[in-house]
Amino acid sequence: MAKQDNVSFMRLVDDVTETVIPQSDFALAVGASERTVQNWSSGQTKPRGDAVRRVLDLVYLVKELREVYTDEGIHIWLQSRNRNLNGRRPLDLLGAGQIDEVLDEVQRVVGGM
């Protein structure tokens, strides 16, 4: 049974991994192993340290993109090379810890539509 203090993170992780991207992509984006993300999703553990910020940043990014894209569209956007990111994929940049670069592009996308 999930510990009460893990439930909020469990819901955040599940909201993204059940509708937008698979756990393996979530893990890449936040710099964690897939097993760790599975533990967060089941409520066995919760993110700690830098992982907390990276999870919350990814959740924020998805929330912003939902203003203009479907969940499938967000998945495609994260996986696709982006001209404004010098041909790099947003998911790869997230994995490298370059959230600000990706968030800047998200703001251009959301603000332009």
| Number of domains making up the chain | 1
pLDDT along the chain (113 residues), means of 10: 69 95 97 97 94 96 97 98 98 97 96 75
Cα Rg of the chain, angstroms? 14
Q: What is the model's pTM?
A: 0.90
The whole-number pLDDT of residue 2 equals: 47
Query: Which contacts qualify for 90-99: CB closer than 8 Å, 24 or more apart?
Result: 91/21, 91/25, 91/28, 91/29, 92/28, 94/28, 94/29, 94/30, 94/54, 94/58, 94/61, 95/28, 95/29, 95/31, 97/31, 97/54, 99/54, 99/57, 99/61
* Residue 64 structural domain: 4-111
Give dist(CA 33, CA 62) in Å, integer. Answer: 20
pLDDT the model gives residue 7 = 78
